[in-house]
Amino acid sequence: MGTRSKKEETAPRYLRKRRRVRESLIQTFLYFCAGVSILTTLALVIVLGEESWLFFGSHEVDLREFFTTTVWQPAIGRFGVWPLVNATMMTTTIAMLVALPLGLAVAIYLSEYASERARSVLKPTLEILAGIPTVVYGYFALTFMTPLLRAIFGDNVVEIYNTASAGMVMGILILPLVSSMSEDALSAVPRSLREASYAMGATKLETAVQVVVPAALSGIAAAFILAVSRAVGETMIVAIAAGAGPAFTFNPFKAAETMTGHIVRISGGDLSYDSIDYNSLFALGLLLFLITLTLNFISRLFVERFREVYE
């Protein structure tokens, strides 16, 4: 503090910047609040990393077996992650088969076709779907969708717990996410592009599909990828309706347990700390965390790209 500027020294005392204790205390508190998010991330990485380290470090497990074998039976010390990952991929794929076409169609309808009045009714109604707790969707999958599927395809084809009904209901849950993000991207396309297309004699459909959708493509892609990430991390629907017990199957009408479903089922029971079961959950958690983080990252890259073009 030795080198004060000349100006400050000659300024009258009452004009100098006073130090305010209260202000700086408050600022410190606010800084701490913002820092909590960083602490959370740190804690996440440490917890998941440490327990997974213990898991892979134990003599019962080796990394190669974890990623290459297809039997997950902690009771006999078999830890091959593929049955769980496969079930997750199945439910996610089925959910996407429902959510992507429907979501995109809804987005196109709301942004290109619907009148202002229809929009003001339809949009909030669809958003209710996003606000319903996922456990309710799980109930719906088990008590409505599964009986429906069994009535259509026959009781001996469709098991009581199956990935198809869980995936389809998950698709409905994710639909509002896809539609509202895609709609944002569609409405960000400048009006002039549409006018130009109409001026060339294109119909509404041709304008929407051949001009507006391609122009909004990176935003739509972002929505799709985020939807995949959401489906991978979704838990309660699969925990209730997809089945309990890892199974390596490609039949959507058979029961199979996803990564999230497995974590919830095992940790819901009596679990002793520092057991291999406990640690294995964190290894699954780490895998889940890395998958969703990557997907979210890619999704954000796409969003930034379409922002660049039109803003």
Partner 1 sequence: MNTPVKCRVYPLEGYLPEGESLQHQIALRHRKGKVWHWLFLTSTIIGIIVLTALLYNIIDQSFGLVVVQNQIDPETLAINGVPLENLTKEQLVSILEQYVSKGVMRRLESEIPFAVRDWENVYQLVQERVIRPEIVLTWRLTESILHRNEIAALVAEQYPKGKLQFRAWINPDFIRGHQSSVPALAGVRTAILGSLWVISITILVAFPLGLGAAIYLEEYAKDNVVTRFIQTNISNLGGVPSIIYGMLGLAVFVRALEPLTSGAIFGVGDPATANGRTVLSASLTLVLLVLPLLITNAREAIRAVPRSLREASYALGATRWETTWHHVLPYAMPGILTGTILAISRAIGETAPLVVVGASTFVSLDPASPFSKFTVLPVQIYQWTSRPQSQFRHVAAAAIIVLLLLLLSLNSFAVLLRNRYRRSV
Among 8, 16, 27, 154, contact with partner 1 (rule: CB under 8 A) = 27
Q: How far is the CB of 202 from partner 1 (least distance, A)?
A: 9
Rounded to 5 degrees, φ, ψ at 18 are -85, 155
Among 7, 76, 115, 133, contact with partner 1 (rule: CB under 8 A) = 133
Restricted to residues 134-173, the positions that interact with partner 1 (CB under 8 A) are 134-140, 142-144, 172
Task: Tell me: does residue 21 bind partner 1 (CB under 8 A).
Answer: no
Structure-derived torsion over alpha carbons of residues 57, 62, 64, 70, reported in degrees to the nearest 10: -130
Q: How far is the CB of 305 from partner 1 (least distance, A)?
A: 16
Task: Tell me: does residue 199 bind partner 1 (CB under 8 A).
Answer: no
Binding segment toward partner 1, per CB under 8 A, in 30-38, 77-85, 186-194, 215-223: 30-38
Binding segment toward partner 1, per CB under 8 A, in 80-88, 110-118, 149-157, 249-257: 110-118
CB-wise, 56 or 69, nearer to partner 1? 56
The tokens describing 274, both together, are 């520092």
Task: Tell me: does residue 187 bind partner 1 (CB under 8 A).
Answer: no
* Site map 228..267 versus partner 1, x via CB under 8 A: -x--xxxxx--xx-------------------x--xx--x
Among 89, 126, 217, 276, contact with partner 1 (rule: CB under 8 A) = 126
| # chain residues binding partner 1, by CB under 8 A | 84
Note whether 173 and 129 are within 8 A (CB).
Answer: yes
Task: Tell me: does residue 120 bind partner 1 (CB under 8 A).
Answer: no
Q: Give the burial class of 120: count Cβ atoms within 10 A of its Cβ; 0-12 exposed, 13-18 middle, 19 or more buried.
A: exposed
Q: How far apart are CA 80 and CA 88, in angstroms?
A: 14
Q: What is the DSSP string of 98-150?
A: HHHHHHHHHHHIIIII--HHHHHHHHHHHHHHHHS-HHHHHHHIIIIIHHHHH
Restricted to residues 45-64, the positions that interact with partner 1 (CB under 8 A) are 47-48, 51
Q: How far apart are CA 225 and CA 173, in angstroms?
A: 15
Rounded to 5 degrees, φ, ψ at 78 are -100, 115
Q: How far apart are CA 27 and CA 125, in angstroms?
A: 42
Task: Tell me: does residue 281 bind partner 1 (CB under 8 A).
Answer: yes
* Site map 62..101 versus partner 1, x via CB under 8 A: ---------------------------------------x
Task: Tell me: does residue 227 bind partner 1 (CB under 8 A).
Answer: no
Q: How far apart are CA 85 and CA 287, in angstroms?
A: 10
The vertex-208 CA angle with 207 and 214, nearest 5°, equals: 100
